[in-house]
Amino acid sequence: MTVCEYSPGLEGIPATKSSISYVDGKNGILEYRGIAIEELAEKSTFLETAYLLIWGKLPTQAELTEFETTIRYHRRIKYRIRDMMKCFPETGHPMDALQTSAAALGLFYSRRALDNPVYIREAVVRLLAKIPTMVAAFKQMRKGNDPVQPNDELDYSANFLYMLTERVPDPIEARIFDICLTLHAEHTINASTFSAMVTASTLTDPYAVIASAVGTLAGPLHGGANEEVLTMLDEIGSKENVRPYIEKLIANKEKIMGFGHRVYKVKDPRAIILQRLAEQLFATTGDDDDYYQLAVEVERVVEEKLGSKGIYPNVDFYSGLVYQKLGIPRDLFTPIFAIARVAGWLAHWKEQLGVNRIFRPTQIYTGEHNLGYIPIEERICDTERPGDS
């Protein structure tokens, strides 16, 4: 076994072999199962892409129809899960609600028959089908409303927007949203996918796998950034304020949300597509264009200041603008990321099961040895508690 040097954040250390997706961060290339993301965004749908990621090939028409129909059939959630969700605090973050609800699915469906393809298929279908319903249900329930039941007439993305907004969406809006899901469906071994793989490697149930990935995605350095991008744009307020605001962040060594990526050192290819979608949406409605222009100015100034360090917009920079324009509340942006990424997490879960070895990295111990146990009355207090004077 080769012993590698310690690399904080495991940067550059391969943690698995995978044929699911490929990223070339220098040239801004992203492929799912060998197909360019640009082509999938243009020609595929989210569910077809999910099928591709999980089963490794594009489905035939019959396979796709069967997959879509089964998912449509499984969209509803059990009333006991709805009742549990009603008890969640309405001020709680929807990611926490989603993590809890996803884990709760395991109470109802876990049989852990991981060597049975039927069990695998059912788990894939249930998770893809029910996660959007749970996100939309919490959005309604925290306002004291009953959840909107899935509409069997609508496809995956249109149905989600319908459950969220209680109106059948415009087909263009539904298509744009579906492309957003495709763009977020998979991205190699990022933090949440790694979390999913570590959990999967213990051979626990898939609901625990997804719940742990959701918890990891919730952090502001990962999926939480698109919420913060809009907060930043609000704070900036006007085009004139962009330069001083960005310069101040850089001077204070603060991170600019929606910029930078561990792998991409050029503009994220997903950000390029999302920017086009944002342009399309803003052009359709005509209003609020100032907000989009503000984002473009932020990109221009950040590129001028930090482009030489390889810091460009990532997937989160324009996605928030698109979601806001679709009328989605900000704290649902990350749960929507999770709805999409369930496809990638499940693909890695399935791949992990095929070659499983429990993850057990090593560490470099930096503590002391042979210190001995000090009786409590001999211990010296060497830290002040907050409030002590």
Query: Would you say 94 or 344 has its CB closer to ligand ACO?
Result: 344
Q: C-beta of 223: minimal distance to ligand ACO in Å? A: 6
H/E stretch holding 111: none
In whole angstroms, the minimum distance from the beta carbon of 148 to ligand ACO comes to 28
Verify whether residue 261 is a known catalytic residue: yes
Question: How far are the Cα atoms of 71, 88, 177, 201 from residue 61, in angstroms, in the given order?
Answer: 15, 41, 22, 33
Q: How far apart, in whole angstroms, are the C-alpha atoms of residue 323 and residue 310?
A: 26
Question: What gap in Å lies between CA 200 and CA 195, rounded to an integer?
Answer: 8
The distance of closest approach from Cβ of residue 217 to ligand ACO in the complex, given in angstroms and rounded to an integer, is: 8
Residue 296 φ/ψ, nearest 5 degrees:
-60, -40
Going by their DSSP bridges, the two strands 29-32 and 21-24 should be labelled as antiparallel
Q: Which is nearer to ligand ACO, 48 or 228 (CB)?
A: 228
Closest CA to 350 of 57, 104, 114, 17: 114
What residue is closest to ligand ACO based on CB? Answer: 260
Binding-site ranges for ligand ACO (CB under 6 A): 9, 221-223, 225, 255-262, 306, 309, 311, 314-316
Neighbours of 322 (CB within 10 A): 26
Pick the closest to residue 276 from 44, 34, 49, 42 (CA basis): 42
Torsion over CA: 63, 68, 72, 78 (sign): positive
Q: Give the nearer residue to ligand ACO in terms of CB position, either 314 or 324.
A: 314
Instruction: Residue 121: name the closest of 157, 74, 159, 62 by CA.
Output: 74
Active-site annotation holds for 290: no
Residue whose C-alpha is closest to residue 58's, from 80, 38, 35, 78? 35
Work out how close the CB of 294 gets to ligand ACO at its nearest, in angstroms, rounded to a whole number: 17
Catalytic residue among 184, 187, 261, 348: 261
In total, the chain counts a number of residues equal to 389
Q: How far apart are CA 164 and CA 199, in angstroms?
A: 30
Would you state the structure tokens that stand for residue 356, as one six-digit string?
A: 């499983």
Secondary structure (3-state) at 256:
coil
Residue 19: other Cβ atoms inside 10 A: 10
Closer CB to ligand ACO, residue 299 or residue 316? Answer: 316
Sequence letter at residue 35: I
Q: Closer to ligand ACO by CB, 37 or 104: give it.
A: 37
Q: What is the nearest approach in angstroms of ligand ACO to the Cβ of residue 184? A: 8
Closest distance to ligand ACO from the beta carbon of 160 (Å)? 20
| 3-state helix vs strand vs coil in the chain, percent to 5 | 60, 5, 40
- Shortest Cβ 61–ligand ACO spacing (Å): 33
Q: Is 25 helix (H, G, I), strand (E, B) or coil?
A: coil
Please say whether the dihedral angle defined by the alpha carbons of residues 45, 46, 48 and 52, taken in this order, is positive or negative: positive
Which entry of 155, 178, 268, 316 is annotated as an active-site residue?
316
Q: Quick one: 100 or 319, whose CB is closer to ligand ACO?
A: 319
Q: Which is nearer to ligand ACO, 25 or 56 (CB)?
A: 25
- As annotated, the active-site residues are 261, 316
